[in-house]
Chains A and B, each alone.
Chain A
């Protein structure tokens, strides 16, 4: 067994701050590239780039933003790195001086949680799915190491754990504005949280919805399909996807994602049923979807591998 390095002598502070020092950050990328758009009154969003995380984009690849109420600001998504979060916080302060009381951690993936460290000084409630804590405990440090290798150590920031847990449904009052949160069963990941801003009617499903950018499967394929179908029954209109254009029509955008997920499911099942192999599935499944998605080649093969692993035991 390997030595349990880091087991002894690691303080809680070390674990939380991960050695990153907030007072001596290097230049945080090109801040002028960071633009938020007011997609609805009091709802500001920044479009993530449809690329893989890189030193150049500082993992600013997800759609992130904030909602302003009478009394408080809620951060809908924190960003993909400390650097990304710092720029988001600056953008918030340019729009409003109201306290940042809530930061949503929509699920375990690094492009959605590593901006959280930028808000520690605001002492917000960090809102997460009941399964987010365990998932971050298992993977947070692994992601942080990977991200540091990619972005440089000081740009990454700490793993921040949720402090307010959503087990099923919760409502957050920002002052004259109520935001409803829903914890989902395993779908995109095992810790997906969605958000609905009643005032604007905007639905924010985070990475339960990908638009134009290839989805990544890390929870349950059959679960994701079921969750999307259940959400379709709730008659949402406008939505901000986790990746893709800032404003989409939920019914039609979710239909396109469902189409890919079902092709993936049916293709992998067919391969399993004919006593096939992961290797052959990887070469053959869902290729008809290639032209519909950015980063298709980067994710389809991996999605097939994950789907195969899930479906072969069903």
Chain B
């Protein structure tokens, strides 16, 4: 277990030990939220603090989520100087929803992902720059029940096709011309908080905890995820196409599930 994974685990435990998160819809005071963030920040970043700079990190999130179990987030990044990116949902049971480490084939400009939001909360996007500096942006999101909301279908139905992947490119992938791609993965991402009321049991947690994307063997990004990713995660990112490709996607889950797929670059001629 590396340092970050351990830290996620510690935070998760601390949060759950304090009891199931309240369903309360009344936001607590901005001051209380700020204090909560300062504590989180301290434990996630070893005492370092992040400063806002919208040229480097800008987070777009809906003010009110249409569906708390599928809340789209877009993070616009200032580019090359960015080494890592965290998405932290302050009041979720496992606040660190995603931690990206960008590699040489990565092009950290826009990252889009979908998360579950359990209660009214601040969401923070924090970038770690090459020089170690932390830059953040935050948004307040009104949503509730996204973690415990029952799935629309049975557990069995939700597990169908697990590990199936698609990678979509808006155009050709030409070396030297950074482009966008959207990765879709079928996975129920059971977070251990959805109750089956026939059995009165919680569906055991089983969620994607790591996604690695490479192009032609060069790392695009390595993502450590927690139980806050939405069911059937969809992830958009930018990368710098390598001469030969292919784009290799590896997905791991908490049950030891492992899926790998290669995607050839779309050619420039069509």
Cβ–Cβ contact A138 & B151, under 8 A = yes
- CB within 8 A of A279: which of B67, B72, B192, B200? B72
- CB within 8 A of A142: which of B74, B145, B153? B145
Cβ–Cβ contact A138 & B72, under 8 A = no
Q: Bin the interface of chain A by size.
A: 35 or more
Q: Determine the residue in chain B with the shortest Cβ distance to A272.
A: B168
Cβ–Cβ contact B200 & A4, under 8 A = yes
The answer for the CA separation of A146 and B153 in the assembled complex, in Å, is: 19
Question: B159 in the interface, Cβ–Cβ < 8 Å?
Answer: no
CB distance from A105 to the nearest CB of B (A): 16
Stretch at the interface among B45-53, B75-83, B201-209, B237-245: B201-209
Cβ–Cβ contact B232 & A278, under 8 A = no
The answer for the CA separation of A7 and B186 in the assembled complex, in Å, is: 30
Give 1 or 0 for each of B136-147: 1 = CB within 8 Å of chain A CB. 000000000100
Q: Determine the residue in chain A with the shortest Cβ distance to B61.
A: A279
CB distance from A313 to the nearest CB of B (A): 7
Give every chain A residue within 8 A of B170 (Cβ-Cβ).
Answer: 275
Cβ–Cβ contact A139 & B192, under 8 A = no
Cβ–Cβ contact A302 & B66, under 8 A = yes
Question: B29 in the interface, Cβ–Cβ < 8 Å?
Answer: no
Give every chain B residue within 8 A of A275 (Cβ-Cβ).
Answer: 168-170, 180, 182
Question: B269 in the interface, Cβ–Cβ < 8 Å?
Answer: no
The answer for the CA separation of A141 and B198 in the assembled complex, in Å, is: 11
Question: A57 in the interface, Cβ–Cβ < 8 Å?
Answer: no
Give every chain A residue within 8 A of B148 (Cβ-Cβ).
Answer: 142
Contact (A218, B152) CB under 8 Å given A301-B66, A309-B232: yes
Question: B7 in the interface, Cβ–Cβ < 8 Å?
Answer: no
Question: A176 in the interface, Cβ–Cβ < 8 Å?
Answer: no
Give every chain B residue within 8 A of A145 (Cβ-Cβ).
Answer: 23
Q: Determine the residue in chain A with the shortest Cβ distance to B166.
A: A313
Interface size on B, residues (CB 8 A): 42
Question: A240 in the interface, Cβ–Cβ < 8 Å?
Answer: no
CB distance from A146 to the nearest CB of B (A): 8
- CB within 8 A of A2: which of B74, B154, B169, B193? B193
The answer for the CA separation of A7 and B200 in the assembled complex, in Å, is: 5
Cβ–Cβ contact B200 & A305, under 8 A = no
Question: B172 in the interface, Cβ–Cβ < 8 Å?
Answer: no
For residues 126 through 145 of chain A, which have their beta carbon under 8 Å from a beta carbon of chain B? 134, 136-142, 145
Cβ–Cβ contact A305 & B67, under 8 A = yes
Q: Determine the residue in chain A with the shortest Cβ distance to B180.
A: A275
Give 1 or 0 for each of A1-37: 1 = CB within 8 Å of chain B CB. 1111111001000010000000000000000000000
- Give the one of B72, B74, B205 with max A CB within 10 A: B72
- Give the one of B20, B153, B195 with max A CB within 10 A: B195
Question: A211 in the interface, Cβ–Cβ < 8 Å?
Answer: no
Cβ–Cβ contact B197 & A140, under 8 A = yes
Not counting A141-B197, A142-B150, A278-B114, a sample of 16 additional A-B residue pairs whose C-beta atoms are within 8 angstroms of each other reads A1-B205, A2-B202, A6-B200, A134-B198, A136-B197, A138-B150, A138-B196, A139-B150, A142-B145, A142-B148, A149-B23, A275-B168, A275-B180, A279-B72, A302-B66, A306-B67
Binding site for B on A (CB under 8 A): 1-7, 10, 15, 134, 136-142, 145-146, 149, 190, 218-219, 275, 277-279, 282, 301-302, 304-306, 309, 312-313
10 of the cross-chain contacts (CB-CB < 8 Å) are A1-B202, A1-B204, A10-B200, A137-B198, A146-B145, A275-B170, A275-B182, A279-B60, A279-B62, A309-B232
